[in-house]
Amino acid sequence: MNLTLKIWRQNGPDDKGRMEIYPVQDINPDMSFLEMMDVLNEQIIAEGKDPIAFDHDCREGICGMCSMFINGEAHGPGRRITTCQLHMRSFNDGDTIVVEPWRAAAFPVIKDLATDRSAFDRIQQAGGYVSVNTSGNTIDANAIPVPKTDADRAFDAATCIGCGACVATCKNSSAMLFVSAKVSQYALLPQGKVEAKERVRKMVNQMDLEGFGNCTNTGACEVECPVGISLENIARMNREYLSASLSSAE
Amino acid sequence: MKLNANIPSGPIGEKWGSHKSSIRLVSPANKRNIDVVVIGTGLAGSSAAASLAEMGYNVKAFCFQDSPRRAHSIAAQGGINAAKNYQNDGDSVHRLFYDTIKGGDYRSREANVYRLAEVSANIIDQCVAQGVPFARDYGGLLDNRSFGGVQVSRTFYAKGQTGQQLLLGAYSALNRQISKGNVKMYNRHEMMDVVVEDGKARGIIARNLTTGEIERHGAHAVLLCTGGYGNVFFLSTNAMGSNGSAAWKAHRRGAMFANPCFTQIHPTCIPQSGEYQSKLTLMSESLRNDGRIWVPKDKKDAEAIREGKLKPTDLPEEKRDYYLERRYPAFGNLVPRDVASRAAKERCDEGFGVNATGQAVFLDFSSAIERYGKTEATQLGIANPSNEKIIELGEKVVSSKYGNLFEMYEKIKDINPYKSPMMIYPAVHYTMGGLWVDYNLMTNVPGLYALGEANFSDHGANRLGASALMQGLADGYFVAPYTVGDYLADEIRTGAIDTNSEAFEKAEAEVVDRIDKLINNNGTRSVDSFHRALGKIMWDKCGMARNAEGLKEAINDIKALREAFWNDVKVPGRKDMYNPELDKAGRVADFLELGELMCLDALTREESCGGHFREEHQTEEGEALRDDENFAFVSCWKYNDEPSKAELVKEELTFENVELKTRSYK
C-alpha cells in the first residue's frame, strides 16, 4: 500500500505546532498502525531528520499508553480497539490519513503526538482506592460473598485502560467516563462502599480542578472507548454524587 | 568470593515466621528520616512502594512510562496462583511449593519458594480487600482454573485481564500513599545508574525523559523492581519499553547476575507474520484448559495446509497428531511451558508446521465447543439437539471463558478462531534469571534489593503459569517491606545522603558522557536495526535450543555487533528534550552486553534444564537431560570490565524437603 500521512508536529508544549505531510510506500496491510509509524520513523531517521514522537508500550491494547487521533477518531476507525490494534488493512491503497494528538486543555502536548495525561493520575490519587493497609491480614477473601452480577459489573468498569480516548473524543473534553468507571467499580463492591461518598466527592472535585469539561450526554465517549466502558457508569456516578452531596458532609 | 544466601535455620515451614518475628525493626520516628528509592511500578514496585510508605519510610518511586499504571504487569492475562484450596482438590502450601520447585526443574532455592507458597493466600485476601474484581461463581465466591504443570485448580483470575486488575489494585494502594505525601512519584523518569558508596547503595542517577535533565536522588536503600530482560530478543511478548538496563547497571556496579540464560519461551503466542513486526502477542496459557494442540500426521497434509490448498477443519480426526496428548498422557495439553514449546519446535523442525513460514501449530477449540455444547443442551433440556445448536451453545460457553482472547486473536490475524483453529508458535515471554538476591531479597551490594521478575530466586529454570503475579506481589507487599527494615536498622544514624559526594559526581559524569557519545555519534544505522540484529543472534543461537558451537559464535557475533553499534549508531534529535530514540539507544546498548553474558552462561551450563535446552544433553526421546551431580547450583556472574570476562561464582542448591527426580509429565 502507498499512503499519504498528514501528521501533527509540535516541538514542545510552547510550540505552536503544524501539520506535515509524509508519503509512505510498500506498507504491508497486516502491519499495525504503530508498525507503520515505525517504518516512517526509520525513513525519517535515514533522512537525518527528527522522528515523530508518539506514546506506546505494550502494543496489545492493555497498557493504555498509545493515543492517536486518526482521521478524526480516537484510536482511528474501528470499534473497541486501541491504535496499536488498528491494522493497515483498515485503510485503502492511496488513502490520506490525518494523525493528531489527543486534544484537551488538561492533556498538554509534550512533543508531536505525545501528551501529558498525569491529570488522570491525580484524579485517582484524590480517592480512587479503598483505604486498607497492605498487611495481608485482612479477612479471608471468601468471607463476604459478592453477587456474581455485581462482581461482573464491577469488573467491566474496572477494565478501563486510562488511555484518554473519552476525553479526546468529547466535544467538552469531559473525563466523566474515566472517573465514573473507577467510582462504579468501588461502589458496586462491598469493600468499596464504606468510603463511597467521600470518594466520589473527592474525585469529581479533582476532575473539575484539572480543567476537564462537563458531560452533556452526547455519548461519543462510549462509542470510542476501546474497552467498551458503558455510559451507565456516568449515570451511576451522578447518582452517587447526588446522594453524597445531599447527605451531610463530615 | 563467597555468597551467603542468609537462609534462616529451622524447619522449612517455620523459617519465614521465625525470621519475620526476629528481624530488626526501625522505630516510627527513625523511619521518617530514612529514604527509600523504588525503581519500576509494576506489581512488585507499586506494592513495595505503597507498603514501605505505609510503614513510614520516605519513598520515591520511578517509572519510565507516563503513569505507574502502564507497567507491563498490566498485560498479564491468565491468573495468579494461591494455595487457598477453595476447590477442595487437595491443594496445600506444600503442594504449591513442590509444584513450583519441580516446575522450575530443581534450580530454585527451596526456602524462598516455600515462603512464596506460604504468603500466596494472603495475596488473594489483600487484593479482594482492595476491591480487585476477581471472577466469581453464582454463589458469590471466588472462582478458580487450572494452569500448566499442576493437577489442581488454584489459579484466581479476572477474565483474561488478571494482571491489569492486580496492577490497578497495587496502583490504587500506591495512589493512596502519594495522596498522603508518603510517596513522591516520578513518571517519565529512567534510572541511569545506581550510586554505590563505601560498598553500599546510596541512591541513583535518574533522567527526566521529558526534559532530559539529569537528577541525583540519595537513598538509604534502593529497590529494583524493573522486570525482566526478554526484549534482548527484540521480538518478545514484553512491552516495547521493557528493558534490562537497571539490572545491568546494578550488575556493572558489582551486583551478581544469576542464571542469565534461563529464559522462558511461551508456547502459545501469535506467530510472526513479517520482518516489520515489532512485538509478539501472547495467547494466555489458560487456553490450554480447553484448546487441543495438533499438527497433521502426514507431511503432505501439512504442506497442503501451508499452501492454502487444504483447510485444517477438513482434515479428519484420524489424520491429526495431538502430539502433546500422545507424548505426555498424564498432563496432555497442560504440560509446563518449556515442554510444550520444545515439542512445538520439534514438530515444526520436522516439517509439520502449518502456516506459510512453517513456524506454527494449531490450537483447536472444536472439541471443547462440542463438549460444552452438549452439556448445555442437556442442562437446557433440549432432546436430540442439532449439530448447529450444539456448536452455537458451545461457542457461547467458550466465549464466556476466553472471549477477549478470541477477539484479540481475530483483531490481529483476521481469522475467526471459533470457526478455524488458532495458529500459534512459541515466543520469548519471561526471564527466570535476574539479579542474585539472598533470602531477604538483597543483592550482594548492601542496600540494593531486587524484587519480582528482576531477581532470580523463585522460578528456577522454568516458571509455572500464573506464578509471576504471585511472586511480584509477594515480594512487594509481604517480603521486602519487612526484610528491608533489617538492613535499615543500621542506617538510623546515617542522616540524609549527601548527593554532592564524589561517588554521585562520578556516576553522573559517566551518565552524561554516555548520553553525549550516543547523541553525537553521527552514524548511519538506526537503533532498531541493531536491536533486530541482536534479537536474531539471540533467537537463533540462545533460544529454544542451544549448542556449544552456536553459543561461541553468538558471543563473537554480539561483540562485533556491539562494536558496530558504538561506531555507527545514529541517534537523532537532542538530549535536552523528549527523545524516545535516545532512551531506546541506551537500553539497546545495555542489551548488547547482557546478551553476551546470557550466551556465556548458557555455554557454561553443560546440562539441559527447564527453558535451557542444550542439544548435547538430551535423552533418546529428546527430553531435557539434567545433571544434578555437577550443576545443582545457581550461576552467579560478577562483572569484570566486559561481559565475557565475567567471573562465575556458584551458589550450591541443597534440597532437604523435596527429592530430586527426573521431571516427568508423561
Kindly state whether residues A78 and A128 are assigned to the same domain.
no
Q: Best mutation site among A1, A25, A38, A62 for testing chain B: the one with the most B CBs within 10 Å?
A: A62
Task: List Cβ neighbours of B238 (8 Å cut-off, separation of 6 or more).
Answer: B72, B227, B228, B230, B231, B279, B428, B429
Kindly state whether residues A124 and A154 are assigned to the same domain.
yes
CATH code for position A205: 1.10.1060.10
Per-residue 3-state assignment (H helix, E strand, C coil) for B191-252: EEEEEEECCEEEEEEEEECCCCCEEEEECCEEEECCCCCHHHHCCCCCCCCCCCHHHHHHHH
Task: List Cβ neighbours of A168 (8 Å cut-off, separation of 6 or more).
Answer: A67, A69, A74, A102, A103, A104, A107, A224
**pLDDT value at residue B521:** 95
**pLDDT value at residue B403:** 85
- CA-angle at B125, arms to B119 and B131, nearest 5°: 135
**pLDDT value at residue B274:** 83
Phi, psi of B636 (to 5 degrees): -115, 125
Quick one: what percent of chain B has pLDDT higher than 70? Answer: 100
Kindly state whether residues A100 and A149 are assigned to the same domain.
no
Task: List Cβ neighbours of B582 (8 Å cut-off, separation of 6 or more).
Answer: B515, B518, B519, B571, B573, B575
Type of residue numbered B281? T
Identify whether the C-beta of residue B100 lies closer than 8 Å to the C-beta of residue B108: yes
Identify whether the C-beta of residue B362 lies closer than 8 Å to the C-beta of residue B310: no
Kindly state whether residues A137 and A84 are assigned to the same domain.
no
Q: Report CB contact under 8 Å: A136, B478.
A: yes
Q: Mean pLDDT, to the nearest integer, of B111-133?
A: 98
Q: Mean pLDDT, to the nearest integer, of B360-385?
A: 95
Pick the closest to residue B118 from B433, B458, B430 (CA basis).
B458
Pick the closest to residue B460 from B630, B661, B263, B616 (CA basis).
B263
Q: How many angstroms separate the CA atoms of B259 and B602, rounded? A: 9
The string of pLDDT tens digits covering residues B626-654 is 999 999 999 999 999 999 899 999 999 99
Taken in order B368, B373, B374, B378, the sign of the CA dihedral is positive
- Copy the grid coordinates of residue B649: 561464582
The string of pLDDT tens digits covering residues B431-470 is 999 999 999 999 999 999 999 999 999 999 999 999 999 9
Q: How many domains does chain A have?
A: 2
Q: How many angstroms separate the CA atoms of B583 and B63, rounded? A: 13
Confidence label for A249 from pLDDT (cuts 50, 70 and 90): low
DSSP B293-359: EEEESSHHHHHHHHTTSS-GGGS-GGGEE-HHHHH-TTTGGG--HHHHHHHHHHHHHTT---STTS-
Q: Which of residues 181-210 of A touch B (CB under 8 A)?
A: 185-186, 189, 191-192
Hey, is the C-beta of A179 within 8 angstroms of any chain B C-beta? no
Residues of A in contact with B137 (CB under 8 A): 148
Identify whether the C-beta of residue B289 lies closer than 8 Å to the C-beta of residue B146: yes
Confidence label for B382 from pLDDT (cuts 50, 70 and 90): very high
The string of pLDDT tens digits covering residues B537-586 is 999 999 999 999 999 999 999 999 999 999 999 999 999 999 999 999 99
Pick the closest to residue B612 from B336, B232, B264 (CA basis).
B264
Residues of B in contact with A133 (CB under 8 A): 54
The string of pLDDT tens digits covering residues B23-32 is 999 999 999 9
Taken in order B551, B552, B555, B558, the sign of the CA dihedral is negative
Q: Which secondary-structure segment (H or E) carries B155?
A: strand B155-156
Q: Report CB contact under 8 Å: A28, B51.
A: no
**Closest in A62, A111, A186 to B131, CB measured:** A186
- The structural domains of chain B, ordered by start, are 272-428 (3.90.700.10), 501-633 (1.20.58.100)
Kindly state whether residues A104 and A125 are assigned to the same domain.
no
Assessment of whether the complete model's pTM goes beyond 0.90: yes
**pLDDT value at residue A250:** 53
Backbone dihedral region for residue B646 (phi beyond 0: left; psi -120 to 50: alpha; all else: beta): beta
Kindly state whether residues A17 and A134 are assigned to the same domain.
no
Which range marks the domain in which residue A58 is found?
3-110
Identify whether the C-beta of residue B598 lies closer than 8 Å to the C-beta of residue B261: yes
**Closest chain A C-alpha to B289 CA, distance in angstroms:** 22
Confidence label for A247 from pLDDT (cuts 50, 70 and 90): confident
Hey, is the C-beta of B471 within 8 angstroms of any chain A C-beta? no
Kindly state whether residues A230 and A136 are assigned to the same domain.
yes
Cross-strand bridge partners of residue B296: B320
CATH code for position A75: 3.10.20.30
Kindly state whether residues A52 and A168 are assigned to the same domain.
no
The string of pLDDT tens digits covering residues A124-161 is 999 999 999 999 999 999 999 999 999 999 999 999 99
**pLDDT value at residue B1:** 78
**Closest in A51, A61, A136 to B572, CB measured:** A51
Q: Quickly count: other Cβ atoms within 10 Å of residue B202's Cβ.
A: 28
Length of chain B measured in residues: 666
Q: How many angstroms separate the CA atoms of A229 and A116, rounded? A: 22
- Copy the grid coordinates of residue B652: 550450591
Q: Report CB contact under 8 Å: B67, A110.
A: no
**Domain end call among A75, A110, A145:** A110
The string of pLDDT tens digits covering residues B451-462 is 999 999 999 999
**Closest in B134, B240, B408 to A61, CB measured:** B408
Helix (H, G, I), strand (E, B) or coil at B437: coil
**pLDDT value at residue B404:** 82
Kindly state whether residues A104 and A204 are assigned to the same domain.
no
- Copy the grid coordinates of residue B571: 541517534
Q: Best mutation site among A28, A129, A185, A193 for testing chain B: the one with the most B CBs within 10 Å?
A: A129
Identify whether the C-beta of residue A175 lies closer than 8 Å to the C-beta of residue A199: no
**pLDDT value at residue B264:** 96
The string of pLDDT tens digits covering residues B385-408 is 999 999 999 999 999 888 888 998
B209-234 as b/e: b if 16+ CB within 10 A: bbebebbbbbbbbbbbbbbbbbbbbb
**Closest in A64, A87, A148 to B136, CB measured:** A148
**pLDDT value at residue B502:** 98
- CA-angle at B253, arms to B250 and B257, nearest 5°: 55
Kindly state whether residues A124 and A35 are assigned to the same domain.
no
Taking CA atoms, what residue in A is nearest to B136? A148
Pick the closest to residue A121 from B165, B176, B158, B76 (CA basis).
B176
Q: Mean pLDDT, to the nearest integer, of B91-99?
A: 97
Kindly state whether residues A164 and A95 are assigned to the same domain.
no
Hey, is the C-beta of B241 within 8 angstroms of any chain A C-beta? yes
Burial class (CB in 10 A: 0-12, 13-18, 19+), B65: buried
**Domain end call among A84, A110, A136:** A110
Cross-strand bridge partners of residue A23: A4
Hey, is the C-beta of B627 within 8 angstroms of any chain A C-beta? no
**Domain end call among A110, A137, A156:** A110
Pick the closest to residue A42 from B223, B39, B282, B528 (CA basis).
B528
The string of pLDDT tens digits covering residues B55-80 is 999 999 999 999 999 999 999 988 99
CA dist A17 to A10, A20, B572, Å? Answer: 4, 10, 20
**pLDDT value at residue B348:** 95
Confidence label for A248 from pLDDT (cuts 50, 70 and 90): low
- Copy the grid coordinates of residue B396: 457461547
Residue B337 falls in the annotated catalytic set: yes
Pick the closest to residue B84 from B4, B153, B185 (CA basis).
B153
The string of pLDDT tens digits covering residues A1-40 is 999 999 999 999 999 999 999 999 999 999 999 999 999 9
Kindly state whether residues A122 and A209 are assigned to the same domain.
yes
Q: Report CB contact under 8 Å: B140, A154.
A: no
Task: Specify the residue for cell string 467458550.
Answer: B398
